[in-house]
Structure 1
Amino acid sequence: MTDRDTAAPRTTAGATALVVAFCALVAATQVLWLTFAPVTDESARALGVGTGAIANLAAVNPLVFVLLAVSAGRWLDRRLVQALTAGAALTALGAVVRAVDVHSYGVVLGGQLMVSAGQPLVLGATTVLAVRYVAPAARTAAISAASAAQFVGILVAALVAGPVVDAVGLPGLLRAEAVAVLAVGVVFVVLVRRVPARGTPPAAVAPGAPGLLRDRLLVGLAVMLFVGVGVFNAVATWLDPVLGDLGRPGLAGPLIAGMTVAGIAGAASLPAWAATRDRRRVVLLAAALASAGGFAVAAVVPAGAATGVLLVVLPLVGFVLLAGLPVALEWAELHVGADRAARATSLLLLAGNAGGVVLVLAVEVAGGRAAPTLLTLALLSLPAVAAAWSLPRRATSAAAPR
């Protein structure tokens, strides 16, 4: 087996608490990113701007991530505690700034930029925090939990914003988020600065950033995340017009929620199975094939049956597709070693963020029509099939025995 040495000492209680706090912080970054998306019209009225300006509050996040990801990964690898403290501080203070003047678009945008700057320093630590603080046998579970926390945050943002705004308005929502995220940030910073890290030997092979970019395995995993995140974002963006074209308007929200819940379940369960049996490639190939095949079937069946097909396809695709994130991140860490874990993670998340933008725009050519949109999603999934097929059947570790 290439996996973790189960004879190593167990994870300490302090480290377990740190991982839990980190998962809460990860979820918080996603909630803050998508605060305004479910309540676009209400936010536009409250801030006195158009809906396009509200969309920009979410759009700045992937843009800033792309700009800062590589530098964030380098900092996390070299000075983990300092970088994580900065990431938590930017996230919490950004939430507070948004609540300082809840009627000023400029102030809210400034806070959103702070949140966006903190996100690469938080998400980029998904693997390296597990490596530095968690016993080898439990690292896959820690990476899975942190990855699933991203989807939990997305789901919370989608489900909670509307009811809270209806009850207390946008100002109440921003203030409640500020209090909650500030509390999470403070707890996390205290823990990360007090809990001692485990000793981790350096990798036997320690490539720099150019070496990582030329690594065939990392390139294959990057393609997987580019397509996987892109398909998920494209479905979230275009499912409503697709269902409208099929005569089932209003069903998109529950279907996307179901897809996300299935993805959380997959991200929490499949990576451990894949790591224990060294079947990482199997999971990634299944995710790509499910996406390509499922959307192709939905595209070619009669319109009257397409909605029923989507009711089956979307949870299935979500279950395996979103599980691909922790599987890819854990495989990358195992491959490059502990001292380059954050940099590899940041590069893969950078690919995912880029795919989330590019594929949404690519699907736009179908104009929201059901069959062309679903067929486009199937075709855009094919590069992931090729990438997954090209991956090695077994994982190999660049790290010294742990």
Structure 2
Amino acid sequence: MTAAQFLVVLNTSVVNVALPAVGGDLGLSQTGMTWIVNAYLIAFGALLPVGGRLADLFGSRTAFVAGMVLFVGGSLAASVAAGAGLLIAARAVQGAGAAALSPAALAILLSRFMPGPDRDRALGVWGAASAAGGAAGVLLGGVLTNALGWWSIFAVSVAAGVPVLLSVPVLIPRETGGHGGRLDVPGALAVTAGLTLLVYGLGARDGSWVGKVLVPAAGILLLLSLVPLERRATHPLIPPALLGNRSVMAGNLLMLLLGTVWVGTFFFLPLYQQKVLDYSPLTAGLTQLPLAGALMAASAVAGRLRSTLLPGLVVLAAGLLWLARLPLDGTFLNDLLGPSVLIGLGLGLAFVPLTALGVSGVDPRHAGVAGGLINTTRQVGGALGLALLTLLASTAAASNEVGPAALAQGYRRALIGAAAISLLAAIGAGAHLLRTSGRMSRPAVSTTR
């Protein structure tokens, strides 16, 4: 299960170092390159509630196998794509497969470990696997692009995904079946179309009011339509019990903000290294290893410690503000190493407790959709945040043809925006911790006179 999660996260970061090479071969602008990332994130994030619901309906093992088949197929298609449109479509298929297999894998993990220290340690391993996927994506993206070409970064998911798929009959016991019910098709269509239109509209650069106003407005209206649709649904996509769980809702809201920062950092840092500092893809990948290593170490430690959420978010914001200096003549030791380690520590310390918060107190019948929801908010936060941060960066760097100074200024603004989002998440986490500690310490009200 952690191997599958490793591959899912790997594909959110493996393209980042390769983006300049992809954009050069396919003639993509910076905005166009974001869609190589966003096609995966939108399909993954928008369909995760559907994937989680399918795991609950038909069984986690069945949903996992179906998702892995789709994921491997999309990876194969991306590795042989001859044009930008085909590559973006293949990335969307990858994301759809990941949306089915990721919540199913988390549901299987939760079913094997009951709440307590064992589950906390298991979630720590899960978080470390996610961090390792991000680390391997950064490194493999540079190594493979440098040695074989950008197509190989997708072929590696085929080579790694097939053994995972073949191991399922041996390692995962057969289930008696799901929990029954039906899929909420109107809700699934509304959330998928709404998120796609919203992110597309936020990323619009055509200068027309239709693209910049009407498209995102239509996306927001579709997302708002979920409220009456879910109230009327016999089998809602997101069970009301989850929406009424304050811990689950707090975890998902904060994970939305963390996803914005996570994806934005791994998107802009390689661009700065290659377009401003003139690093090769291999060098850019290697110099991000301290960040990835710190993320892995912090994720593993966070599963054994308590109350790492608020410190993690504060450390993350500090690292982003430090990194946002982005000098034109920056060096790895003086300008990248220190902030990279802080960012990695902050991400790892925050990610594991947020995952645990998002599935705390959940009925086992809803484990799949709860796991899907917490992953949804991270991926959707990444897609929305990437569109917003790219918009912020583009005010100073409008195209690939501008000079290094303008590019650095744009990336600087994006990272400052990411730091502000981290601080906002820290404030929200502090408010939630105060509220929950107040409820726990509040004495019971006597009913006698």
Instruction: Point out where structure 2 has 5 or more consecutive residues left out of the alignment.
Output: 178-236, 397-407, 441-449
Per-residue CA distance 1:85-134 (angstroms, 9 max, x = gap)? 211221223234445x4546666555433321111122223542222123
- Indicate the residue corresponding to 2:426 in structure 1: 385
TM-aligned CA distance change 1:81 to 1:298, over 3 Å: closer
> Shift of the alpha carbon at 1:375?
3.7
Matched, 1:291 2:319: no
Matched, 1:71 2:50: yes
From 205, 208, 221, give the equivalent of 2:251: 221
Aligned residue for 1:71, secondary structure, equals helix
Identity level (%)? 18
From 93, 96, 106, give the equivalent of 1:114: 93
State the TM-score, normalized to the length of structure 1. Answer: 0.73
> Shift of the alpha carbon at 1:224?
2.0
How many angstroms apart in 1 are the aligned matches of 2:155 and 2:163? 12
- Indicate the residue corresponding to 1:143 in structure 2: 123
> Shift of the alpha carbon at 1:159?
1.4
Matched, 1:130 2:87: no
Q: Which amino acid aligns with 2:429?
A: A
> Shift of the alpha carbon at 1:265?
1.0
> Shift of the alpha carbon at 1:325?
2.1
Q: How does 1:2-401 map to 2 (within 5 A)?
A: 22-43=1-22, 50=28, 55-78=34-57, 79-98=59-78, 101=80, 103=82, 108-134=87-113, 137-170=117-150, 174-194=154-174, 209-239=239-269, 250=279, 253=285, 256-274=288-306, 282-296=307-321, 308=334, 311-364=337-390, 365=392, 367=396, 368-369=408-409, 372-392=413-433
Size of the alignment, in residue pairs?
357
Per-residue CA distance 1:228-283 (angstroms, 9 max, x = gap)? 221122222333576799x8664865554322221111111212222xxxxxxx21
How many angstroms apart in 1 are the aligned matches of 2:154 and 2:330? 42
Q: Which amino acid aligns with 2:423?
A: L
How many angstroms apart in 2 are the aligned matches of 1:176 and 1:68? 24
Structure 1 contact 222–347 (Cα < 8 Å) conserved: yes
How many angstroms apart in 2 are the aligned matches of 1:58 and 1:309? 26
Structure 1 contact 293–378 (Cα < 8 Å) conserved: yes
My pick for the range that moved more, 90-99 or 58-67, is: 90-99
Instruction: Point out where structure 1 has 5 or more consecutive residues left out of the alignment.
Output: 1-21, 198-206, 275-281, 398-402
How many angstroms apart in 1 are the aligned matches of 2:274 and 2:147? 29
How many angstroms apart in 2 are the aligned matches of 1:232 and 1:70? 21
> Shift of the alpha carbon at 1:287?
1.6
Structure 2 contact 131–296 (Cα < 8 Å) conserved: yes
How many angstroms apart in 1 are the aligned matches of 2:114 and 2:255? 27
State the TM-score, normalized to the length of structure 2. Answer: 0.67
How many angstroms apart in 1 are the aligned matches of 2:114 and 2:344? 29
> Shift of the alpha carbon at 1:384?
0.8
